[in-house]
Structure 1
Amino acid sequence: MGDENSDHLALIHRRLAGEIVNNTVGIKIVGGPFNGRTKIVELSQAGLPPAGFRGRPGRAPGPWNPAAKHTYLAVRAPDTSAGWIYEYAEADTTTEG
């Protein structure tokens, strides 16, 4: 069981380092409430990441509105190991309902 756990952790570390493993890669997040984190995504058959994502920071510290959805867009970044970053685009503060 220890070997399985260490193999899994090694796989996660490879993805977080920007290495493409089994068509998945870790892409750094720049700006907004998720700044500095890494999102592990599955690449398309063309080798492209999802165009973007939206998320809520929950109870993260900072001047963020926890009800807002924050939008990030995939941007080419040849100086990164994955070749992409997710860059902060905007916060949607409109409420549904």
Structure 2
Amino acid sequence: MGTDNSEHMKTIDRWLAGEVVNKIVGIKVVGGPFDGRTKIVLLGPDGTPPTPIHASGGPAGTTRHAYEAVRSTDTRAGWIYAHTGPAPVTKS
């Protein structure tokens, strides 16, 4: 059991590092309330990630945020998910 778990965690670590494993990859989320997180997705037959993706946030998940896949040379995965809505308001 320990070996299976170890191999599973190694695969997840590879996805989070932006490596494509079995057509699955972790793509960094940029902007919006989910900035800095990673979305693990299955790439399409053409090697592109699904787009747009939606995430819920705010009180009781009432606010929906959209993200578009954008090519990026700054990431190992070659893609980021960029927030398509207005910049979030921060309280001081």
TM-score range relative to shorter protein: 0.7 to 0.9
* CA displacement 1:19-62 (0-9 Å, x = unmatched): 00000000000011111000000001110000221111256xxx
* Structure 1 SS opposite 2:33: helix
Quick check: 1:21 aligned with 2:21?
A: yes
Moved more, 82-91 or 19-28: 82-91
| Separation in structure 2 between the aligned mates of residue 33 and residue 89 of structure 1, nearest angstrom | 11
| Separation in structure 1 between the aligned mates of residue 44 and residue 61 of structure 2, nearest angstrom | 31
Which residue does the alignment assign to 1:57?
57
Which residue does the alignment assign to 1:39?
39
**Paired residue for 2:62, among 49, 62, 67?**
67
Quick check: 1:90 aligned with 2:85?
A: yes
Identity %: 52
Question: What CA RMSD, in Å, does the superposition of the two structures yield over aligned residues?
Answer: 1.6
| Separation in structure 2 between the aligned mates of residue 20 and residue 71 of structure 1, nearest angstrom | 23
The ranges of structure 1 where at least 4 consecutive aligned residues each deviate by more than 2 angstroms after the TM superposition are none
Q: TM-score, normalised by structure 2?
A: 0.87
| Separation in structure 2 between the aligned mates of residue 79 and residue 30 of structure 1, nearest angstrom | 12
- What code does the residue aligned with 1:79 have? D
* Structure 2 SS opposite 1:27: strand
State how many pairs are aligned.
86
| Separation in structure 1 between the aligned mates of residue 84 and residue 37 of structure 2, nearest angstrom | 16
Q: TM-score, normalised by structure 1?
A: 0.82
